[in-house]
Amino acid sequence: MARTTLTRFLIEQQRLANALPAELRLLIETVARACKTISHSVSKGALGEVLGSLDSENVQGEVQKKLDVIANELLLDANEWGGHLAAMASEEMETIHRIPNRYPKGEYLLLFDPIDGSSNIDVDLSVGTIFSVLKAPDECAGREVTEEDFLQNGRAQVAAGYAIYGPQTLLVLSVGTGVHEFTLDREVGSWVMTDRDMKMPQGKCEFAINMSNRRQWSPGVARYIEERVMGAEGPCGVDYNMRWTASMVADVHRILKRGGIFMYPADHRTPGKARLRLMYEANPMSYLIEQAGGAATDGFIPIMDVDATSLHQRVGVVLGDKAEVAMVTAYGKE
């Protein structure tokens, strides 16, 4: 039986499910090709001179890794000339990147975190690329795209996904018809489906959180974690496992495949202070988790219902098993 490649899957979605227009299909294929190139750079490591930091900071005030900048440029270069996009926005750039006038413009907006978990690059742990696709407002056809055009509700996403560069290079994608996983076959250079219509297991006793941030947690989050750390002797009556890799892509992928809950709550001591970006990380991951049968909140309301106010807005994140997410939310509201 013929293997289902990414191209074949997208064409089937276009023809049979009528789930995406041809322009969106071509855009996703372009992003996937860029991820293949990034994967090659990651795999070269020191041999490709992509390790280490630069003498520069991104808009977040974070020191940029060499690979952050390389991956950002690869995604910009791959996507700006295809005619599918009106503009792009990246976690590594202060403002949007408009499509140059020498290229045709499309009707979509692309947002991406070129390298998620970049602190792991130099120690050979998994990193990834996260992306989200929005439809440009209709009025953009007669004017230049602005930052405000990107500030759409997470429910407006028409596609989202991530690539994870680990022992295998994977692409996890949703166009609104479930979540599907593709593995990069390096010998032939194609993405091959290895998991269709993924459903996150429920009822699994596993959580992912950065325990060093305990002093920043709200009483509700602290109570939830303490009950699980107590294990079989606590109110849960069962032992929990904790995992943390400091790469959202890797941690969320594990939750998606094995179940459990991922948490990066906002700082309770400083209202509004959080780590993860709504537009580049929280919204696309929430889209995937909900498509796989899970839930995602900022600790109080669904993440995809959070109003976007700026390109680099940050938000608390609690996602995964519906029952576990509901419990964290209930504790927070108490």
Q: Known binder of ligand: residue 55?
A: no
Q: Known binder of ligand: residue 116?
A: yes
Q: Known binder of ligand: residue 138?
A: no
First vs last Cα of the chain: how many Å apart? Answer: 54
Task: Evaluate whether 296 touches 289 at the Cβ level (below 8 Å).
Answer: yes
Torsion sign over Cα 305, 309, 312, 314: negative
Q: Known binder of ligand: residue 61?
A: no
3-state secondary structure string across 217-278: CCHHHHHHHHHHHCHHHCCCCCCCEECCCCCHHHHHHHHHHHCCEEEECCCCCCCCCCCEEH
Task: Evaluate whether 161 touches 125 at the Cβ level (below 8 Å).
Answer: no
Give one word for 18, left, alpha or beta, with left for phi > 0 and alpha for psi -120 to 50. Answer: left
The tokens describing 83, both together, are 């005619």
Q: What does the DSSP 8-state code read for residue 316?
A: -
Choose among 296, 291, 305, 287: nearest CA to 329: 296
Q: Known binder of ligand: residue 113?
A: yes
Beta-bridge mates of residue 241: 206
Task: Evaluate whether 242 touches 260 at the Cβ level (below 8 Å).
Answer: no
| CA 67/CA 126 separation, integer angstroms | 13
| CA 48/CA 41 separation, integer angstroms | 7
Helix (H) or strand (E) holding 324: helix 322-333
Q: Known binder of ligand: residue 118?
A: yes
Pairing of the two strands 206-208 and 241-242: parallel
Q: Known binder of ligand: residue 39?
A: no
Which residue ranges make up the annotated binding site?
A: 91, 113, 115-119, 210, 281
Bind-site residues for Mg(2+): 91, 113, 115-116, 281
Residue set of the binding site for substrate = 116-119, 210
